[in-house]
A and B are shown apart, each in its own frame.
Chain A
Amino acid sequence: MASPENAPFVTRRKAMSLFAGVSAAMVVGQPVLAQDAGGILRGAFDNWRADSSHAVVEMKIKRNSGTRSLTMESWTLGDKKALVRFTAPARDAGNATLQLGNATYVFNPKLNQVIKLPASAMTQSWMGSDFSYNDLSRSQKVVNDYTHRIIGSSRHAGKKVTIIESIPKRGKPIVWGKQILAVRSDGVLIQVEYFDQVGARVRVMKTDKVGRIGGRPYPMVLTMKTDAKPGQYTRITTKSAEFNLSIPAYVFTKSNLQNPR
């Protein structure tokens, strides 16, 4: 990402999927009612993605060598289907990613080819970026594979924020030592911190701005920072979004990935 000209298409692809995951993850349709930690998170993640979504999002990647902005359009249906397509800048336009369950397909217009990504490639850290594709595409795991407890509370924009510590269950294939999540009373995830196994924070994702969009409280601006790379970040800004709309089935097909209708 440091050098946009050389950024491989895989990276871009990851960026797209990443965005799909993040935007969906942040959408919490109903106020959280449950008061135990697991319940608060589950309440949030049960509404992980709205039944469906369509959004236009801008992603800004800040590096020491410069800043790069990308615009993309995404469609999601449930938590199994997602399509993300770049629309700007012109150089990146047309790159697209389709997720169907565990399978991920990438389309690159320059190659005019659809490639199925090997599962191991999806676990790689997102090259040069502060996001890792892996944990974003699977962030629902935090509900089931971790044990949760409330460790405190704070306030954010006048609303109560519950701070939850989530520790991976023994034997689960999770590298993090723990995550600390902050969930606002209206169900918006305010902050997620990732810690390594000796307790050092590795990175943090923050909601910079909460707005109302599509009739729900929504994290309009999200920033992911890696502690080891000060001054660098990746910021996602939602330009427009609609939820619970009906999306035709053909959208989530490989043929639509390659030849958009």
Chain B
Amino acid sequence: MQNLKTLAPLAWRNLWRNTRRTVITLIVVSVGLWSVLFFNSFLNAWGQAGKDAVLDLLIGQGQIHAQGYMDDPSIERLMRPPEGTFLEALEAGEIGAWSMRLQLPGVVVSEYKTLPVNMVGVDPAAERILSSIPEKIVKGRYLLDAHDSSVILGISLAERLKTGVGRRVILMSQNVAGALSEQSFDVVGIYDADKATEDYYAFTGLVAAQKFVGLDDEIAQITFTIPEEEALESTVARLALAAPDLDVRPWKQLSLFLATTDSFMQNFIYIWLAVVFSLMAIGIVNTQLMAVFERTHEFGLLRALGMKPRQVLVLVALESTFLIGFGVLLGVALAGMTIWALADGIDLSAFAAGLEMFQGGQVLYPQYDAQRFVVFSLLIWVLGILVALWPAWRAAKLSPIEAMRQVT
């Protein structure tokens, strides 16, 4: 302890004997840490925005189907609208909104083309709360009610069909009798989402869709949203309990791609951390080794004056501790300021066309992630000290006579 009291001021003063070198190391550490912390926030924001955008579009936080529907989405595997305790469970607190849908795989025919399509019968009132599609109408209007037997197409599909608002298309799908239903639908609206969605989904009223294929009130799915993400698992469990004969799934099981992307985004930062730290370690070791070599004569003298090797080691390690600690503080401050400066959001709409394929949101809101700020800072600090032990150990094992003989 007494040692530290003596060595700490010594180490501190040593740091500033070569200001330029110290400042360079500080910059290396702080910029490295800044990049890790900022990237972490940025990636989180990106992941979140992308996830929200996709989930808001159609998937919701979770969906309920009849057993077996997910494996074979056919008209034989539908379910009744919710009632009784199941309905009560759906109306309960954590669920923000829910909506009944009927999905009918089929084809859409225009004067020029026949294309595969997934026709979705929806309840427009519920969709307006739950899905972002109603806000994405760029031409015409959205569906009026569940009886609305018009159709909404995506931009891309409408272009490929060479059709548009005010014209009609023929939709065909398997009906309850196992034969083919075909019906003329007026195109009343065009929506703008990502291309995959636009090409695949056409929307009409739920009742209109049921009539089209000869169903009474059967539906294919219930989509629900949960504003608080933390409540997702418990809610899914609660719904599964309320409807034991149905298949309740959270979004992670509905969109594997999204779940994988999400977990990749969560963990990519560690790859970045490893890369940055490798570079940082090279910088730290290099400068500290230089510092030790330059001061060989000095360390010899200290040893000759009676300093023990252990004390030399602690002295040099303390220097690194201060140096890297300072760099870490600076990096945290920089990252904090950057995030604060970008609190209004990063507008990526200039790159919208390119980003569409990632299904990302267009404005990102980086946020402080206190836990990771602390963890990453400590990690960099401790690892930095560890790699700096090597130069310190070199200094400690110098033989005083040889060291003093060496002229620097």
In whole angstroms, what is the CA distance A65 to B111 when docked?
25
Q: What residues on B are CB-neighbors of A6 within 8 Å?
A: none
Taking CB atoms, residues of chain B closer than 8 Å to A120 are: 106-107, 114, 172, 180
B111–A123 touching, CB < 8 Å: no
A residues with a Cβ closer than 8 A to B are 119-120, 123-125, 134, 171-177, 194, 196-198, 202, 228
State which of B162, B172, B183 has its C-beta within 8 Å of the C-beta of A123: B172
Which listed residue (B112, B114, B180, B184) contacts A196, Cβ 8 A? Answer: B112
**Whole-angstrom CA separation of A196 from B168 in the bound complex:** 10
Distance of B73 from chain A, by nearest CB (Å): 16
By size class, the interface of chain B is 20 to 34
CB proximity of A37 to chain B, nearest CB, Å: 22
Within the complex, what minimum Cβ distance (angstroms) separates B209 from chain A?
A: 15
Also in contact, A123 and B114, with CB within 8 A (given A172-B184, A175-B109): yes
Q: A104 to chain B: closest CB distance in Å?
A: 12
In this complex, the member of A173, A194, A228 whose beta carbon has the largest number of chain B beta carbons within 10 angstroms is A173
Asked if B67 CB lies within 8 Å of chain A CBs, one says: no
B169 touches A175 (CB 8 A): yes
Chain A residues closer than 8 Å to B20, beta-carbon distance: none
Closest Cβ–Cβ distance, residue B179 to chain A (whole Å): 8
Does B113 sit at the interface, judged by CB under 8 A?
yes
Is B111's CB under 8 angstroms from A197's CB?
yes
11 contacts between A and B (CB under 8 A): A120-B180, A124-B107, A125-B112, A173-B182, A174-B170, A174-B184, A175-B109, A175-B110, A175-B168, A175-B169, A197-B168
What's the minimum C-beta distance from A24 to chain B, rounded to whole angstroms? Answer: 23
B167 at the binding interface (Cβ < 8 Å): yes
Q: Which residues of A contact B109 (CB under 8 A)?
A: 123, 134, 175
Which residues from chain A contact B179 at a C-beta distance below 8 Å?
A: 119
**A77 to B170 Cα, complex, angstroms:** 30
A202 to chain B: closest residue by CB:
B111
Residues of A within 8 A of B114 (CB): 120, 123-125
Within the complex, the shortest CB–CB distance from B214 to chain A, in Å, comes to 15
- A173 pairs with B184, CB closer than 8 A: yes
Measured between beta carbons, the chain B residues less than 8 angstroms from A175 are 109-111, 168-170
Q: Which of B154-194 contact A (CB under 8 A)?
A: 162-163, 167-170, 172, 179-180, 182-184
Interface of A is mostly: loop
In the bound assembly, the distance between CA atoms of A198 and B401 in angstroms comes to: 100
Contact indicator B184/A171 (Cβ below 8 Å): yes
CB-CB contacts below 8 Å: B95-129 with A: 106-107, 109-114
Chain B nearest CB from A146 CB (Å) reads 13
Central interface residue in B110, B111, B113, B167, by most chain A CB within 10 Å: B111
Seed contacts A173-B172, A196-B162, A228-B112; 8 additional CB < 8 Å A-B pairs: A120-B106, A120-B172, A124-B114, A134-B109, A171-B183, A172-B184, A173-B182, A175-B169
Q: How far apart are the CA atoms of A134 and B172 in the complex, in Å?
A: 13
Q: How far is the CA of A174 from the CA of B183 in the complex (A)?
A: 8
Q: CB distance A173 to B107 under 8 Å?
A: no
Collect the chain B residues with CB atoms within 8 Å of residue A194's CB: 111
Give A250 to B222 CA distance when docked, in angstroms. Answer: 51
Contact in complex: A177, B184 (CB < 8 Å): no
**C-alpha gap A120/B180 in the complex (Å):** 8
Task: Check if A173 sits within 8 Å of B111, measured CB to CB.
Answer: no
In the complex, chain B residues whose CB is within 8 Å of the CB of A171:
183-184
Q: Which of B107, B167, B172, B180 contacts A197 (CB 8 A)?
A: B167
B157 CB to closest chain A CB, in angstroms?
Answer: 15
Chain B residues with CB below 8 A from A123, complex form? 107, 109, 114, 170, 172
A198 to B187, CA, bound (A): 13
User: How many Å lie between the Cα of A197 and that of B164 in the bound state?
Assistant: 10
Q: Is the CB of B172 within 8 A of A125?
A: no
A119, A174, A177: the one within 8 Å of B172 (CB): A119
CA distance A197 to B167 in the complex (A): 6
Whether B172 contacts A196 by the Cβ 8 Å rule is no
CB-nearest residue of chain A to B184: A173
A123, A175, A202, A228, most chain B CB atoms within 10 A: A175
Q: What residue of chain A has the Cβ atom nearest to residue B162's Cβ? A: A196
CA A202 to CA B109, docked complex, whole Å:
14
